[in-house]
Structure 1
Amino acid sequence: MNQDKPKKHPRRDKDVRTVEQTSLKSIPAMIHTTNKDGKIVDVSDVWLLEMGYTREEVLGRAVIDFLSPVSRRSAIENGLPEFYHKGSCQNIPCAFIKKSGEIFEVLLSANAERDEDGRLIRSCTVLTDVTEISRLENERSASEHLCRQLMKGMLNGFALYEVVIDKDGQPVDCRFLEVNPAFEKIIDFTVEQIIGKTLLELLPSTERYWIKTFGQVALSRQAVRFENYSAEFDRHFDVHAFSPFERQVAVVVTDITERRRAEIQIRHSEELFRRTFDQSPIGAAMVGLDYRFLKVNQELCRITGYQAEELLALEFTDITYPDDLPLDLRYAKRLVLGEIDFYEMDKRYIRKDGRVVWVRLSARLIRDSEGTPLYFLPMIVEIDDRKRLEEEKDVQLELFGLISEKSDLKKMLDGVVCFLKDYSRVDAIALRLSVSSVEATYNSVGFPAEFIARENALGSQTHQNRLAALHYIEQHINDATYDIPFTLFTKGGSFYTHSSSQLFLQRDILQIPFDIRKHCREVIYESILLVPLRVGDNFLGLIQLYHKNKTHFSRDYILFMERLAGHTSVAILQRLAEETLKIKQAELKEMNAALKILIRNREEDLLEHDRGILVNIRQLILPGIERLKLGSLDLQQKSQLNILESNLETISSPFAQKLSSVHSALTPALIEVADMIKKGLTNKEIARILGISVKSVETYRKRIRERLNLKNTKVNLRAHLLSID
């Protein structure tokens, strides 16, 4: 140690040495140690708690007794031989069986300790529960940016291939689509030399086995993991291949040649503990009783954004979110008093860059053999994405509820503006709605009265001028006219600036009228966000958010606001459609009422016309026929006169009119015969009057019965006709 440096914490080195000699029992992680025969000799309390066993039930038993059948077989055939040879393994997926019979999936990392002759003395294994991680990964889609960063930072080689298929559907080659730096080192080519080339073009001596295996994975979409020797490189590789998309195969390659040859010498339990601590996939630290960091691992540095040296100069209270600190301190004090063995809680850290990050904290107090408290041992897992998704889900559900409660468009917009202001914690917010079918509206909360007055004066009170102003803003948002370093246009069409005072000093902004620029500068809203309200290409308006501090809007926040604006836009269109439908329904109702009046008047006119015709027949024509009968007529003239009289009586008969209206299938000739049958005339009399044969009258009778649905019934035709009258 550098003697020139001030010794701020005289107990730190002593504490660290004591930690490294402490039993695994009190470590808040799943850890067990085994002897040379693979029998468990020590195990942590967390291991026992998770597995459901007592210490007596575990000690002396072989580790493989607790593995699932599949994991046990894999360990016996591959895992254990490799571990004994190499002396370590890291993040090996396997499944343990709890005492309850439940399968418990973990990642296994282990290191072996050997004697001077290289013989294995004991080993220490750390188990990491991946059950919750798997569930969270299934609930949210992976971010492309994070995936690329992970791929670039992977120690393992990664390559994405497109499988080349011949005309028979068989894989004949693989084309490189993407590789990471580790893969470049493995094959000793740069990414520029690799991408776009096929495997055989780049490495002509490649064995057929690789192409065949990758092709089977791409075609069957079934992942495989295998180890194989490559003569091209004279090295052994551990390969995990899976198909993320059709006819594509992603390959994670680990060069295990050196790993097989190397032997890791672990001579003391303190070194084993240190490696476990430093390489833990979760954040870990040793914190003194004065709450100052004594030791931190790399994962905790990543989570908090601090370098290790920076964290060692801080207390955990310095980076804890103020609202979470009282509960954290209360738990810590209970640990020291011995009231609890460990505690867990969701809390927030304030990163070095000022961003707040959510974590899951599990902490235990480490004591010496006499029970004296030494230091806190917290384990930290980042859950920021989970918390953000939960918060966004709650906000969207609350917005949906607000929208569904408000049937009136104006009330809905007022509710949305107030809701968004409360959620976004801005100083002021406005919602400009401009749709051709309605009057332009302006809803706002938080602006000074003089700002609103100036805004109305600048925007004009006329509908057309407001439309023009909104379309002017929309055009610049779509075209991204103001491309300035501190101004961003998102793919969703939103515009924001972190510093409006600098924005309005730019030359490119001078095309905006002076009075508008002066108006914005006077209010000094530094952070401005404009989010378009649109559905497809249909622009409805803008949501405008203002804050007096710079850099108030994060990118995640802007993207979420765009989603909320999308939900609001759909609701606006729905309300507009409902209002339009109401107007159309009212217009249709008026048209129906007018049409009914028109039809009724027309029917009355037709009835009046028919009554006039009937009156003329009965008062003028039929009396004239009676007078003609009194004259001297021959037999043929009398017959024709009778036919004329019968037809006129049929036309003017209420029975004929009713029969024609009820049974439209009856022809005028059938109606004439039916009228005579109703009057009681025989077939001969009807035949004589009509000048037809009796057989024809019988045919008419059959047709009338058919048209009146009396065929094959015993109903008397004349009686039925009388019932109609």
Structure 2
Amino acid sequence: MPNTAADQLLTDGFDNKKISHEIRLLLNCYLEKIVMAKKPTYEELEQRVRSLEQDVLKLKWTEEVLSKSEERFRIIFNNAPQGIALANQSGRFLKVNSAWENMFGYNEKESQQLTIQGITSPEDIKISTEKLADLFRRDIGCYRFEKRFKRKDGSIFWGDLSVSLIHDLENGFKIALGVVVDITERKRSVNALRESEGKLNAMLQSIGDHISMMDEDLNIIWTNKTAEKIFGKDIIGKKCYEVYHQRKESCEPYPCITLKAFRDGKVHKHDTQVIDQYGKKMFFHCTANVALRDKEGKPTAVMELSRDITDQKQAESALIERGKELENKTHELEEVNAALKVLLKHRDEDQQHIEEKIVANVKELVLPYVEKLNNSRLNDRQMVYLNIIKSNLEDIITPFLHQLSSKYFNLTPREIQIAGLVKDGKTTKEIAELLNSSTGTIDFHRNNLRKKLGLRNTKTNLRSFLLALP
């Protein structure tokens, strides 16, 4: 016999139905409440049983999902590479994973005796305590920041801490879930990079030349102090052609060396004129080269190094002007020199003409009478005076003889004297009479002259050779 109304109902109305134990319990509870009330029909009971069975199925599915979710959480918690810990409102740890134990050096039992303050570097205890208290007090959900942690051995490391607030609805309290990532190496790399950037920036800032960096749209994105000193401190973000050349459009000839560097990635140079913030014109020797590239290697920024060559350009201009002046002076001097050459030629010709005239006059008008006096009867005193006069007259009329003696050092005084008479057209007999010598003596000296003058064994006339001498 059925023990309860539910058993009787199930026995009478659902003999062929497979009813779960949970449905039976729910149905018994339900019937106990309504047994004294209006008795439901079998159809109503069947519908209610089905509804209760659906509720039980949903409940079991939810339990299974929760169980799987909890299992997944345990797997993630225990096997996560990051250090994960659960802590209460006072900061005491409730549970930690293996990565956390390896990170800090404490086992799970030791960890449960610790608080957040106990694993925090003294410099960051205050801010860590304030953030945790604020999390529980204001229920802000989560927070994240970088802080210094302390291991069991006392060593310090940097960690990226993320803390979230978890509500335990079943037990009615809140716990904090913290995830720690060791970023010590990243911090070192960042600090090394910052130090390197600082050194590079200090080096670039110390360079006396103008340095600026432009993007592909020719916007100035960085400059050194020299550039700011020349063009002003408010030039970042402006177009380079507006700042350096006070232009409204790109420089000519187009494209400029900066755009050329963007296009072909090569180094380009040129000299250009710029205008400083006070309107003063300057000359720069500029070198443009790619400074930054993206992951594909495409240039994203070009650096332009410009050296002030204003003094050099001014010196070059002065040299050019000086060169033009020298060229004009040279032309003037050439004209003067040509005129002087003409004057000197005329003077030489006039001097030669005068000398020839003087020589001819002395020979024709004076020397004959000197020879007559020489052949007359003169006393010794008169003969001395006559020889002096004759010697001086010969010096005056014979510049040729001086030239001949200076050119041919091996000629004797008598040979030089005879050469002068030959040049004047005197015959051997006439020369012999003038020098009170025999013709044989004169012929001997003439042969020596030909030999010393290089005329031996040639048909060159001696007088013609002497006349041709300068």
**TM-score > 0.5, shorter chain as reference:** no
Return the TM-score normalized by structure 1: 0.23
Which has more helix, going by share of residues? Answer: 2
| Greater Rg by CA | 2
Which has more strand, going by share of residues? Answer: 1
Return the TM-score normalized by structure 2: 0.34
